Structure 1
Amino acid sequence: MSLVINHNMMAMNASRNLSNSYGQLATSTSRLSSGLRINTAADDAAGLAIRELMRSDIASINQGVRNANDAISMIQTADGALQVVDEKLIRMKELAEQASTGTYTSDQRLIIDSEYQAMASEITRIANATDFNGIYLLNGNLSGSTHSGAGLNATGKLKVHFGSGNNSAEDYYYVQIGTSTASALGVGIGASSSAKGRSISTQELAQKSLDAIKSAIVSKDKIRANLGALQNRLENTISNLQIQGENLQAAESQISDVDVATEMTQFVREQILTQSAIAMLSQANSLPKMAMQLIGG
């Protein structure tokens, strides 16, 4: 290579190598300081796209777990209220049994019936007052066989959404809770005129009420059993979602997170190359001085 003044090719080569090494050093520094292998789309365009989709699914699944937990809390609220209803129905059957015997006068049966009606009214009050986050649970609000979420307020059975998509088999199912008012259970003065459990004011009515109250207890137990099954299903769903979220997080980590040991090795290599390039650029920049020495003699 000739000794020239106008173009210092060795300095240009050293400068290019310095630029490359310094750029790689900056990339390694960014990765080590952030803990991420992909910080910009330029680092891995395909990996970035896959990572962001995984992150959205992970966030959706984590929210789905919270949604399912909220549904469990709602079911427990309804079940707790029905437990109190159960106590009232047991007391009503006790009163009906008491009024069924012939050792009480009509006035005494009317007194017994007044407590019977008070129990029925309390059942209706509980059914109308039990709510979760403003959603009434036992008054028939969720007893519909269909669901519509088109309006500001959804109607029919309640839809619990926990998946990252909108496929029925994978992402949601419904919670349907039967009406638990006294009239719906067929007891109390508010029940239909044909209901056998309307009153225990006479011995005959009291005897007929025994079977009606038994049917009411069975109806209430079916509602509670359905709620218990739904709660167990939700708990299993939560367990499955948590495992799914963990696996997605592991996959996202493989794509996104930096291998510190490997990246540190790369960092040291680029650091050495950068320092060497700086030293060589300094030496190359001093080479034209040799031409001055020749010119000066």
Structure 2
Amino acid sequence: MSALTINHNILANDVARNLSSSYSSLSTSTLRLSSGLRINTAADDAAGLAVREIMRAEIASLNQGVRNANDAISMIQTADGALGVIDEKLIRMKELAMQASTGTYSSDQRLIIDSEYQAMASEITRIANATDFNGIHLLNGNLSGANTTHNGNGIVSTGPMKVHFGTSNDSSEDYYYVSINSSTASALGVGMGATGADGKSISTQALAQKALAALDKAIISKDKIRASLGALQNRLENTITNLSIQSQNTSAAESQISDVDVATEMTEFTRQQIKVQSAVAMLSQANNFGKLAMQLLG
């Protein structure tokens, strides 16, 4: 039982301590409700904060991986679009070779036909050399190869390109290699730059007939490149779907740890608010208890 004293108001001190505790809890609830977060500082939940930050880093990496994969798809679509134009040129060259293969044309007429044939071959090479994505040439052979990685250290970047989308670099599950063979006329075996003799020219009936087989091979080579790019695009689209699901599920788990339950926290806020109001009222009463001692002295 507390004594009635003048120097110390023990009852008021107890009420003030309870008021401080309730006010601190009310401040915490106010901060959580205003920020929407259950964990605002490490003191709120040290272990939860560590787990949350790891998850946030994972989510950010997954979302960037989605963007990386989308960039790779855009690059593939750029290359495929250019190959579609090259396809049109090869078809026209096949048509010209067929035209020059028949005996109803004179030598001079075949030379005229061959001039368009060579122009188409030059255009194929120009397209292959000019097609780039963000400064990276796609169809001139710089991305060809199977055993070396794309090297961006030099002025000219060469080798297969690594498209990174995983959150680490531990295995091939985190990246793909994009390898695109050269699509120049010489690489396809047509035009004056071709290494073989069959597709160089259609200036004579015999050369035109031989060029038909070379053009078939060129079309097949081009189709193999397009098929490879199409398959890789499908893989990347599936990868984006998987990464998006991972990001969504990790975000949900992070929310369970980090976000405040508004209904529960509002109940706690109301409880602490009532306690603070009650403590303030009781502190006012406790501060008046000293007057009782004065009444005894009077």
TM-score, L = length of structure 1: 0.96
Gaps of 5+ in 1: none
CA distance in 2, matches of 1:150, 1:18: 65
Deviations 1:7-40 (A, max 9, x none): 2111111111000000000000000011110111
Aligned length: 295
Given the alignment of the two structures, is residue 183 of structure 1 paired with residue 186 of structure 2, yes or no?
yes
CA distance in 2, matches of 1:243, 1:70: 19
CA distance in 1, matches of 2:219, 2:194: 15
Q: Which residue of 2 aligns with 1:206?
A: 208
User: Alignment partner of 1:156: what SS?
Assistant: coil
Q: From the superposition, tell whether residues 150 and 134 of structure 1 become closer, same or farther in structure 2 (CA, over 3 Å).
A: closer
Q: From the superposition, tell whether residues 267 and 152 of structure 1 become closer, same or farther in structure 2 (CA, over 3 Å).
A: farther
CA distance in 1, matches of 2:4, 2:289: 8
Q: Which residue of 1 aligns with 2:144?
A: 143
Counterpart contact for 2:143–2:150, Cα < 8 Å? no
* 1:97-116 mapped onto 2 (5 Å cutoff): 97-116=98-117
User: Alignment partner of 1:218: what SS?
Assistant: helix
The percentage of counterpart residues that share the same residue type is 76
Q: CA deviation at 1:284?
A: 1.3
Given the alignment of the two structures, is residue 165 of structure 1 paired with residue 156 of structure 2, yes or no?
no
Q: From the superposition, tell whether residues 149 and 201 of structure 1 become closer, same or farther in structure 2 (CA, over 3 Å).
A: closer
Given the alignment of the two structures, is residue 19 of structure 1 paired with residue 27 of structure 2, yes or no?
no
Q: CA deviation at 1:169?
A: 2.8
Q: From the superposition, tell whether residues 196 and 162 of structure 1 become closer, same or farther in structure 2 (CA, over 3 Å).
A: same
* 1:49-60 mapped onto 2 (5 Å cutoff): 49-60=50-61
Q: CA deviation at 1:184?
A: 0.1
User: Alignment partner of 1:227: what SS?
Assistant: helix
Query: Residue 221 of structure 1 aligns to which amino acid in structure 2?
Result: D
Query: Residue 176 of structure 2 aligns to which amino acid in structure 1?
Result: Y
Q: From the superposition, tell whether residues 46 and 149 of structure 1 become closer, same or farther in structure 2 (CA, over 3 Å).
A: farther
Counterpart contact for 2:96–2:117, Cα < 8 Å? yes
Query: Residue 19 of structure 2 aligns to which amino acid in structure 1?
Result: L
CA distance in 1, matches of 2:153, 2:171: 20
User: Alignment partner of 1:200: what SS?
Assistant: coil
Q: CA deviation at 1:150?
A: 6.6
Query: Residue 244 of structure 1 aligns to which amino acid in structure 2?
Result: Q
Counterpart contact for 2:162–2:178, Cα < 8 Å? yes
User: Alignment partner of 2:5: what SS?
Assistant: coil
* 1:68-107 mapped onto 2 (5 Å cutoff): 68-107=69-108
User: Alignment partner of 1:155: what SS?
Assistant: coil
Deviations 1:227-256 (A, max 9, x none): 100111111011111111100110010011
Q: Which residue of 1 aligns with 2:229?
A: 227
Q: Which residue of 1 aligns with 2:260?
A: 258
Q: CA RMSD in A?
A: 1.3
Query: Residue 276 of structure 1 aligns to which amino acid in structure 2?
Result: S
Deviations 1:81-136 (A, max 9, x none): 11111111111111111111222221111111111101100100010111111111
CA distance in 2, matches of 1:24, 1:195: 88
Q: CA deviation at 1:281?
A: 1.3
Q: Which residue of 1 aligns with 2:248?
A: 246
CA distance in 2, matches of 1:247, 1:294: 71
Q: CA deviation at 1:168?
A: 3.0
